[in-house]
């Protein structure tokens, strides 16, 4: 089980919107050197929804080779067509990834039985460790803890969940219902950075949060401080994370702001995003810079 901070990494593109593998490698090295506990490729911040299957496969192969087992590698393989999810998950397993994060199917707001059917079908056809990805604000549907418990009980390869909910209550319910009652290990991660500490205090396993792209060393230090019970340092870093949360609100969607913040910290990357998302304006960039200065990151 991966514990601590897993970075859902940005995908770096060049000016022609092709994957910039050189800059991607630089970013991967920065994350690992800073001390993150794992990396998730092709998550929401990774713009999985805007990439072709061929692009995803190229990135997965590159990621596994570049990380080279230094930290666990997870990949987002979710989508609306279950057979595509199965194909990409099996490809990822063959390449050597450690697990696949599968978002709840979107567009139709499926009921719990249909969600169960979806994950059951995938788990039947994939041997790789699977992590349910719950993000109702984007998918339009919330998976119930009872449904998660049923799936995790019946399928040995359903081993965790990323719970991107703007409340700790749902995550706490998952920890109490699923994690504590199952007869196997089951990982529960929060998806919002400000819930890193509440997740751990409630018995969860950590965070898959986007701000760690910007300051991976800060989040790595936070987790180490938690393990050492250094509450003064925990409080200091928590205050910085809370201030950084404003970055998410500076662009809609939020990932251009994350990319811009990474570049402002000196990374050699183009902050371009896949179509139809454009670059940030001068005011947005200025506000991101203000936040980074406030928390002493630049």
* Active-site position among 56, 116, 118, 162: 162
CA 271 to chain centre: 19
Rounded distance, CA 80 to CA 118, Å?
10
* Active-site position among 131, 133, 189, 195: 133
Angle, in degrees to the nearest 10, between helices 82-95 and 53-67:
30
Burial label, 21 (beta-carbon count in 10 A; 0-12, 13-18, 19+): middle
Rounded distance, CA 196 to CA 176, Å?
17
Rounded distance, CA 240 to CA 255, Å?
19
Burial label, 227 (beta-carbon count in 10 A; 0-12, 13-18, 19+): exposed
- 133 catalytic residue (yes or no): yes
Rounded distance, CA 213 to CA 35, Å?
12
Positions marked active-site: 133, 162
């Amino acid at each position: 089980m991966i514990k601590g901070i897993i970075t859902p990494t940005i995908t770096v593109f060049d000016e022609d919107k092709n994957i910039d593998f050189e800059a991607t490698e630089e970013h991967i090295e920065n994350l690992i050197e800073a001390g993150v506990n794992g990396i998730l490729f092709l998550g929401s911040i990774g713009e999985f929804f805007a990439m072709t299957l061929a692009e995803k496969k190229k990135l997965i192969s590159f990621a596994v080779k570049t990380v080279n087992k230094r930290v666990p590698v997870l990949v987002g393989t979710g989508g609306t067509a279950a057979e595509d999810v199965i194909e990409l998950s099996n490809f990822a397993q063959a390449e050597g990834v450690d697990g696949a994060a599968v978002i709840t199917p979107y567009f139709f707001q499926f009921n719990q039985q249909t969600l169960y059917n979806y994950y059951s079908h995938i788990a039947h056809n994939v041997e790789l460790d699977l992590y349910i990805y719950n993000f109702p604000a984007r998918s339009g549907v919330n998976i119930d803890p009872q449904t998660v418990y049923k799936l995790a009980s019946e399928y040995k390869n359903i081993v965790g969940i990323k719970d991107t909910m703007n409340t700790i209550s749902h995550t706490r319910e998952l920890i109490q219902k699923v994690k504590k009652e199952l007869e196997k290990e089951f990982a529960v991660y929060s998806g919002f950075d400000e819930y890193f500490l509440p997740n751990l205090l409630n018995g969860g396993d950590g965070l898959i949060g986007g701000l760690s792209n910007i300051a991976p060393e800060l989040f790595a230090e936070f987790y180490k401080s938690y393990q050492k019970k250094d509450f003064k340092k925990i409080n200091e870093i928590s205050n910085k994370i809370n201030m950084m949360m404003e970055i998410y609100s500076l662009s809609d969607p939020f990932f251009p702001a994350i990319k811009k913040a990474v570049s402002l910290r000196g990374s050699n990357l183009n902050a371009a995003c896949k179509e139809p998302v454009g670059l940030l304006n001068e005011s947005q960039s200025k506000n991101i810079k203000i936040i980074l200065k406030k928390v002493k990151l630049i």
